[in-house]
Amino acid sequence: MNTKEPLLDFTIKSNSIENLTNIKQNDLTSTFNKKTIKIVVASRQYRDGSILARGYGDVASGVRGLEYLRKIYPAAKFSFIFEHFADSKKEFLKLKAITTISDVKTYVLNGKIKEYAQFQSQPWQQQHQENKVNQLLQEADFIFHAPSGLIAPLTSSHGEYAHKTIGVSEYEKATGFYSKDDPHGIASFNMGLTYNRIYLSEPIIYKKQFQDNILRKYCRNPILNNQVKYSKNNFYFHYDHDINSLVKMVRIMLLIESGCSKNIVLVSTNNFYIKTFKQEEFKNFLLKCCPFQTVKIYVTNNNGKYVEFIIYENPQGKDVKNIHLITATKLSNNDFKLLQKGSVINYSTGDISTSDVLALDKLPIFGVFKKKCVFLSLLDKIKDFCMIAGNEQYQDCINVWELAASNFTREAKDRFPKKSPVEINSLQKLRSLKWKAFELKFTSWLKENNQTESFIRDKAEAIIAIQ
């Protein structure tokens, strides 16, 4: 593995993290007795004209940093700031939902409000708390900033807060927004699998059953072993903004399920995906690569209404395959985690979605060129794991994972429909008991070597101690 930065000379075991945290907290007891430590966490939505590029991941990264800091300093007073460039109320409200945190007050900066007067026309676009944010930055003992650029008050501060601010980069990629040589003077530390620093907070599943009635009816519950074993359906969860990725997901899904008598449940988070199934071009793709005689789609929404239609009929195929496509209009965080944990595969393109899947003891499947640096780093980690004595039995899992990722990468029309017995046989291993064992052991090993918490703690304490 190529290491871009010196690693810590120790490995934090999962069962020792809490004890280390308590020791470090005791070291700062005298500091906490003098005053309440004030910590500000800030994040900025990536600025772009398209929601596909803006997304929500950079703001979510800030929330993950906040989660670590609250664990380290439970007695501190926290504030969260996010700057957005949202084009719609729906997008803005989703950012608000992501940043709604128990016992932490959130403050909003509208990145467009000073540049374009028309963005002040609606109430949600006028929410811009710059004066309060400046006051928070002045009073803070420590400022933690997520990737994708500095919030405007830090950019215009001429380095005033640099001595108490730390930035965090994207996974495997320096953002270029934090540098001691930069006019802002804000230092940063690198994140990613290469550095053994990834957001792997233990996911809390408060309710062991799906809260949505339709999900409870169709999806097997990954928490209840008897449901997993005796379920009549194999289910998949597709969460992405890109319509084309759904086409790839369906292709892989049908190849995995060929030769299996169970039907498929596919949960999608966007209603417009239904239109994809009706496109003639999509049907022609499937006709060339899908082994089934008939594929029927049953579309169900949260109100229990459904519509049935046939994607295609292939005289050369065998058997009939039914797909129950559930288009959830709203998912609770709890149901979202259950879907990820129970899905046969989880598609991932970003830092936070990768962290979420890994934290749930699953191995994400990548669209390679969307986040190639993360894909290659995860591949290196898998290879490192398989070289450990006793793990040689999982060597063949490397090719299985790479093959699944390459299927999500295929764009050319002449390549996408192709299939081979070798490919199908390999993809079907994603449903095997060996694959499940590999996922669990690999992710457990990854968590034991994750040093994110210790790095954030060390950086924070060095700053807080001198304030």
Helix (H), strand (E), coil (C) string for 35-53 = CCCEEEEEEECCCCCCHHH
Of 82-86, 139-143, 269-273, 375-379, the range with the lowest mean pLDDT is 269-273
Highest mean pLDDT, choosing among 97-106, 174-183, 218-227, 231-240? 97-106
* d(C-alpha 172, C-alpha 176), whole Å: 12
Confidence check: pLDDT of 291 > 90: no
Question: How many Cα neighbours within 13 Å face the side chain of 272?
Answer: 5
Closest CA to 76 of 117, 114, 43, 35: 35
Closest CA to 406 of 270, 294, 255: 255
In order of their start, the domains of the chain are: 14-200+450-464 (3.40.50), 213-447 (3.40.50)
pLDDT band at 255 (very low <50, low <70, confident <90, very high): confident
* d(C-alpha 390, C-alpha 460), whole Å: 38
> 50 pairs with which residues across the strands?
none
Q: What is the pLDDT of residues 160-219, one digit of tens each?
A: 998 999 988 889 887 656 655 555 678 888 899 999 999 998 888 888 888 888 888 888
Closest CA to 71 of 205, 204, 223, 206: 204
Q: Is the dihedral of CA 68, 74, 78, 80 positive or negative?
A: positive
pTM, 2 dp: 0.83
Which pLDDT does position 327 carry in this prediction?
A: 76
Amino acid identity of residue 197, one-letter, is: R
**DSSP state letter for 173:** B
Q: Is residue 460 a contact partner of residue 434, using CB atoms and an 8 Å limit?
A: no
> 171 pairs with which residues across the strands?
191
Residues 6+ positions from 4 with CB-CB distance below 8 Å: 190, 194, 195
Q: Is the dihedral of CA 217, 223, 225, 229 positive or negative?
A: positive
- Please tell me which residue, 278 or 13, carries the higher pLDDT value: 278
What tokens were used for 156? 């215009």
Of 68-72, 126-130, 291-295, 323-327, the range with the lowest mean pLDDT is 291-295
pLDDT band at 26 (very low <50, low <70, confident <90, very high): very low
> 310 pairs with which residues across the strands?
296
Which pLDDT does position 83 carry in this prediction?
A: 94
Which pLDDT does position 109 carry in this prediction?
A: 93
Rounded average pLDDT over 3-24:
36
* d(C-alpha 458, C-alpha 340), whole Å: 32
Which pLDDT does position 176 carry in this prediction?
A: 57
* d(C-alpha 107, C-alpha 134), whole Å: 11
* d(C-alpha 296, C-alpha 301), whole Å: 17
Which pLDDT does position 66 carry in this prediction?
A: 95
Which pLDDT does position 246 carry in this prediction?
A: 76
- % of the chain with per-residue pLDDT over 70: 75
Q: Where do the H-state alpha helices sit in 270-345? A: 273-277, 280-289, 333-342
For residue 146, give Cα distances in angstroms to 86, 189, 380.
18, 11, 25
- Can you tell me whether residue 104 is helix, strand or coil? strand
Strand order in the sheet with 77-84: 105-110, 77-84, 38-44, 142-145, 165-171, 187-191
Which pLDDT does position 416 carry in this prediction?
A: 58
Mean pLDDT (the chain, rounded): 79
Helix (H) or strand (E) holding 310: strand 306-313
Q: What is the pLDDT of residues 339-397, one digit of tens each?
A: 999 999 998 878 888 999 999 999 998 866 667 888 899 999 999 999 999 999 999 99
Which pLDDT does position 22 carry in this prediction?
A: 42
Amino acid identity of residue 259, one-letter, is: G
What tokens were used for 241? 């903004």
Confidence check: pLDDT of 89 > 60: yes
Which pLDDT does position 5 carry in this prediction?
A: 38
